[in-house]
Chains A and B, each alone.
Chain A
Amino acid sequence: MRVVGFAIGSLICLALTGSAQQPNGKGATVGRIVTQTRLVSLYSNLETQLANAAEKNDQMKMKELLTDDFNQWTPAPSGDPVPVDDWITKYRPSSFRIRQMAVQNFGKINVASFILTQRGSFGESPTNGSYFVVDLWTEEGGQPKLAVRYISPLQQPSVKVSTPTGKQ
């Protein structure tokens, strides 16, 4: 019993210490503050527009940002992709946050990868949590459109970042 009490006390103590370090957020590690690329700036904005449209159930805006044959792939069984119409009607984030974005350009294809932390649902299923997302953006009529999304849940719980981290 004493041992259990000691262990609980230590854990509470350690938890408090961990939270105490967060306001500063730097610890002993020196980060670096980056100037994000023009493409990261552009696609961060587009991804935000898309998620905002989904949040507001603005299906017209969502269609503007998606190709006609957009689909989403997940590792979940059955492995079938989610077609565009299902995605538009079922994907409803109630809040979201995008971080750690990188964009690679391959001619008219831009590949955006990022961590998406969200609360919300897909149809009847809750989608609360953090996901690693890879989006393939293409161009149609000079307008960027999302053609494919690959999304997989993160194994580790996300870390709230509220101070400069060196990553956008």
Chain B
Amino acid sequence: MRDNVLRRGTLLLCLALASTFSVAQSVKDSHHLTPTGKGWGENNPNIPDAQKARSVITGNRINYHGGPVMLNKVNAYFIWYGNWGAGGSNSSETITLLNDLYSSGGLNNSGYERINSTYGSNSGNVSGSVELAATAYDNYSHGTRLSDSAVEAVVANAINSNKLPKDANGIYFVLTSSDVNETSGFCTQYCGWHTHGRIAGSDIKYSFVGNPDRCPSACEAETSSPNGDSGADGMASIMAHETEEAISDPDLNAWYDSSGAENADKCAWMFGPTTGSVGSGGYNQTLAGHHWLIQMNWENSRGGGCDQTKGGAFYNF
């Protein structure tokens, strides 16, 4: 009797697990999936074949995995963490420069940003529009050594205290002054990162970018930079990189290649041709009245490649 119960239990468990298996396998068929925002896509019979084919362009050495992208205009939110009145590259000038980069005349709808419009989901393509919507300050609420969870808490605090609005179509940047470390590998493994999490009941996209003056050899391409502010100039390139990835792969289940590299990862630390030399103020973008040296992004067309502007030449340096 007991054996029978055990056998039936095992059979039921196997059936339940087998159904999980079939859901997981369906991710492999990424051409006709509708994003669920839950980490997998689902087939949607209501989408006509023509629309499916039109919305998601593939075959450019980066793959679509069924998840959502950020559509329409994306709002950027800056949380200036630490001491941004200390002078040098922790100053109001640093803040102004990066605010300018995310102003309407900056990255927004630039040729660079429109590279991202080659990415889409079954719901449509990325717009290429991104603009700073609001900023907040955080005076070391979690000290000078932040863990990954502390970064999320900084974002949650800003939203829950109404310093910043809750916006599921926004990217929240935690920008730390150079006296702040992120203890999971800032300066040794990474210069910034992006992810998403459930905050105040919504799927919130957020990113950490530290002031690279903390580790110039690791996170700055130039000791002499285009705007004479090594922190802002170094952060600009990392923030642009995180922006492109957060928009094209906000829930980490949309666009990346077979090695796990997202679009901007495929062009990390590659700038293409510059005006002036990299290392002595060279730049490859002019946005919002400033020169910038910004990592290229992977264009999802023409076979795929790194370029500085949508439709531009591809470079591998």
Contacts and interface: CB of A to CB of B under 8 A. Distances in A.
Interface of A: 2, 6, 9-10, 13-14, 16-17, 20-24, 26, 30-42, 101-105, 161-168
A34 B185 contact: yes
- Majority-rule SS of A interface residues: mixed
Interface string B161-188: 0000000000000000000000001011
A48 to B, nearest CB: 12
Given A23-B27, A33-B252, A35-B264, A168 B220 contact: no
Contact of B24 (A21, A30, A162): A21
A32 B148 contact: yes
B196 A37 contact: no
Given A20-B20, A162-B260, A34 B218 contact: no
Given A26-B253, A34-B192, A41-B269, 18 more contacts: A2-B3, A9-B10, A16-B21, A20-B17, A20-B24, A22-B24, A34-B191, A35-B242, A38-B218, A38-B219, A38-B220, A41-B268, A102-B188, A105-B215, A105-B218, A162-B258, A164-B252, A164-B261
24 contacts: A13-B10, A13-B14, A13-B17, A16-B21, A17-B21, A24-B40, A30-B195, A30-B196, A30-B252, A33-B245, A34-B189, A35-B264, A36-B265, A38-B217, A38-B219, A39-B217, A102-B188, A102-B189, A161-B260, A163-B65, A164-B249, A164-B261, A164-B262, A168-B190
- Majority-rule SS of B interface residues: mixed
Contacts, number: 134
A30 B264 CA distance: 20
B296 interface: no
A103 B190 CA distance: 10
A10 B7 CA distance: 10
Q: Which 4 A-B pairs have the closest CB atoms?
A: A34-B190, A20-B21, A32-B195, A37-B218
Given A24-B253, A41-B268, A166 B195 contact: yes
A21 B20 CA distance: 8
B10 A163 contact: no
Given A102-B189, A164-B256, A166-B195, A35 B10 contact: no
Interface in B256-291: 256, 258-262, 264-265, 268-269
B260 A165 contact: yes
A36 B252 contact: no
B28 interface: yes
B189 A40 contact: yes
Interface in B187-242: 187-197, 215, 217-221, 238, 241-242
Contact of B193 (A16, A23, A32, A104): A32
B96 interface: no
B50 interface: no
B297 to A, nearest CB: 12
Contacts of A13: 10, 13-14, 17
Contacts of A39: 217-218
B39 interface: yes
Contacts of B1: none
Interface in B22-70: 24-25, 27-28, 39-40, 65
A35 B265 contact: yes
A35 B249 contact: no
A146 to B, nearest CB: 18
Nearest to B259: A162
A26 B195 CA distance: 12
A14 B10 CA distance: 11
A43 B215 CA distance: 16
Residue among A6, A161, A166 with the highest chain B CB neighbour number at 10 A: A166
Contact of A105 (B18, B217, B261): B217
A35 B221 CA distance: 13
A11 to B, nearest CB: 11
B6 interface: yes
B195 A10 contact: no
